[in-house]
C-alpha cells in the first residue's frame, strides 16, 4: 500500500542523496512497529535473520542490503516531518475517496493526550539544577498536567480526526508535555502540500476542549481555514459582543449537537491508538525518536483502516488482531 499511494512530493535537499529512500525506510519502521520490536537494533537483527520469512519481509521493504542499526537511528531522527505530511495525505484520501460519509464531512475534532516517557522520571528540582540522578532518564521529556491523569513526565500527542461512523486521524503532531494545546493548533491544521483536509469546502466545524479557547485561533479558523472553531465558552459580565456570539452558538441546540460528537470520536480514538500500538509509556527516548515512533503509529493506523475499508470489512477500525501477522 505504501508503494501505491500518491504521497506528497518532498522538496529536494542539497547534499548526497539517501542510499535508502524515505519510503523504503518507512516500510522498515512499520515492520518494527507491526512486530513490536523494541529497538532499531532489534529491527536490524530481525530483517537480517537468515530464514525465508524474514527474507520475504526484506523484499517487501524493497531492500537489497539491510541497513545498519546506526542508519536506522539516524533516519528515525529525521523522518518526522515526512511522516506528518503522509498522515495529512492519508486524511485527505479518506475524504476524497468517499470513505467518510458525506453527512460526516462537516465536523472535525482536535484533542491531545499526555504520554509517559520511557524510564525514570526527572524531578523538577533536579531538572533546574541540571542533575540527572540516574541512568535511563529521557532528558528531552518535560512535565505536563492533565485533569484526568494529573502530572505526567513525558510528551504530548496532538491529533485532529473525523467524527461520525468512521473516526480516523487527519493530522498529528508531537511535543513535550509542557506545551499548551492552543500553541499547536495552527501547525496541526496547516499543511505545506495540497493534501490538506481543511482546504476542502465540505469541512465546516472544528470541535475542541477549553484548552483551545483562544481569540486568535477563532480568527485563524474563520479567516484562514474557512471553518468555525467550537469550544466551551462561558459568559461573564464583561464578555465582549464577539465572544457573546460564540457563547450563544455553543449553547444553542445546533452547537451542543455538534460539540457532543467530540466525546464519541477523538477521545476514544486516542485511547484506542495508545492501546493498540503500546505507546504509553513510549518505547524510545529522545524527542526526535519519540516523535517518529508516535507519528508512524498514527500513519500505520490510517493505513490499516484504509486497507479494511477497501476490503469491505464490517468494522474497519478492528485492527489489533492484524498486528504481528503476515
Say whether both 124 and 269 belong to one domain.
yes
| Residue 309 placed within a domain | no
For the stretch 50-75, what's the b/e string if a residue is b when 16 or more beta carbons lie within 10 angstroms of its beta carbon? eeeebeebbeebebeebbebebbbeb
Average pLDDT over residues 233-261: 91
Asked whether residue 138 falls in the same domain as residue 254, the answer is: yes
- The C-alpha R_g of the chain, in whole angstroms, comes to 21
> Could you list the residue range(s) of the whole structural domain that residue 250 is in?
101-283
| pLDDT > 80? residue 4 | yes
pLDDT of res. 15: 76
User: Residue 54: its pLDDT value, please?
Assistant: 92
Do the domain assignments include residue 259?
yes
CA distance 25 to 21: 6
- 171-200 tens-digit pLDDT: 999 999 999 999 999 999 987 667 889 988
What are 282-314's pLDDT values in tens digits?
999 999 999 999 999 999 999 999 999 999 888
HEC sequence for 206-258 = EECCHHHCCHHHHHHHHHHHCCEEECCCCCCCCCCHHHHHHHHHHHCHHHHHH
Q: In this structure, are 108 and 247 located in the same domain? A: yes
Residue 209's nearest CA partner among 159, 135, 141 is 159
- Predicted pLDDT of residue 217: 96
Does the pLDDT at position 25 exceed 70? yes
| pLDDT score of 326 | 58
- pLDDT value of position 179: 97
Burial class (CB in 10 A: 0-12, 13-18, 19+), 315: exposed
Asked if residue 185 lies in contact with residue 215, where contact means CB atoms within 8 angstroms, the answer is: no
Residues 206, 190: contact at Cβ < 8 Å? Answer: no
Q: Which three cell numbers stand for residue 210?
A: 477549553
What percentage of the chain has pLDDT greater than the value 70? 98
In a domain, 159, yes or no: yes
* pLDDT value at residue 18: 85
Instruction: Give how many domains the chain has, as a whole number.
Output: 2
Q: Which of 262, 283, 304 is the last residue of a domain?
A: 283
Amino acid at each position: 500500500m505504501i508503494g501505491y499511494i500518491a504521497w506528497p512530493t518532498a522538496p529536494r535537499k542539497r547534499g548526497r542523496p539517501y542510499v535508502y529512500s524515505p519510503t523504503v525506510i518507512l516500510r522498515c519502521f512499520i515492520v518494527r512497529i507491526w512486530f513490536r520490536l523494541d529497538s532499531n537494533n532489534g529491527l536490524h537483527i530481525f530483517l537480517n535473520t537468515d530464514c525465508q520469512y524474514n527474507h520475504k519481509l526484506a523484499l517487501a521493504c524493497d531492500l537489497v542490503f539491510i541497513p545498519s542499526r546506526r542508519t536506522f537511528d539516524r533516519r528515525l531522527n529525521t523522518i518526522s516531518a515526512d511522516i506528518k505530511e503522509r498522515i495529512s495525505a492519508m486524511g485527505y484520501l479518506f475524504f476524497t475517496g468517499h470513505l467518510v460519509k458525506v453527512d460526516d464531512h462537516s465536523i472535525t475534532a482536535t484533542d491531545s493526550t499526555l504520554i509517559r516517557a520511557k524510564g525514570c522520571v526527572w524531578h523538577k528540582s533536579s531538572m533546574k539544577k541540571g542533575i540527572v540522578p540516574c541512568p535511563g532518564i529521557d532528558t528531552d521529556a518535560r512535565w505536563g498536567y492533565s485533569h484526568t491523569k494529573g502530572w505526567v513526565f513525558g510528551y504530548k500527542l496532538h491529533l485532529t480526526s473525523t467524527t461520525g461512523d468512521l473516526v480516523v486521524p487527519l493530522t498529528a503532531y508531537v511535543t513535550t508535555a509542557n506545551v499548551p494545546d492552543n500553541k499547536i493548533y495552527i501547525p496541526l491544521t496547516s499543511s505545506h502540500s495540497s493534501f490538506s483536509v481543511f482546504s476542502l469546502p465540505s469541512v465546516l466545524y472544528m470541535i475542541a476542549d477549553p484548552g483551545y479557547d483562544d481569540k486568535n485561533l477563532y480568527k485563524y479558523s474563520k479567516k484562514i481555514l474557512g471553518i468555525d472553531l467550537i469550544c466551551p465558552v462561558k459568559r461573564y459580565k464583561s464578555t465582549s459582543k464577539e465572544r457573546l456570539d460564540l457563547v450563544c452558538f455553543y449553547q444553542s441546540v445546533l452547537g451542543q449537537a455538534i460539540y457532543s460528537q467530540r466525546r464519541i470520536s477523538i477521545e476514544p480514538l486516542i485511547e484506542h491508538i495508545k492501546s493498540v500500538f503500546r505507546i504509553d509509556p513510549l518505547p524510545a527516548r529522545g524527542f526526535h525518536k519519540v516523535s517518529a515512533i508516535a507519528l508512524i503509529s498514527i500513519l500505520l493506523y490510517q493505513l490499516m483502516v484504509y486497507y479494511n475499508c477497501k476490503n469491505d470489512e464490517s468494522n474497519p477500525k478492528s485492527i489489533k488482531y492484524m498486528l504481528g501477522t503476515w
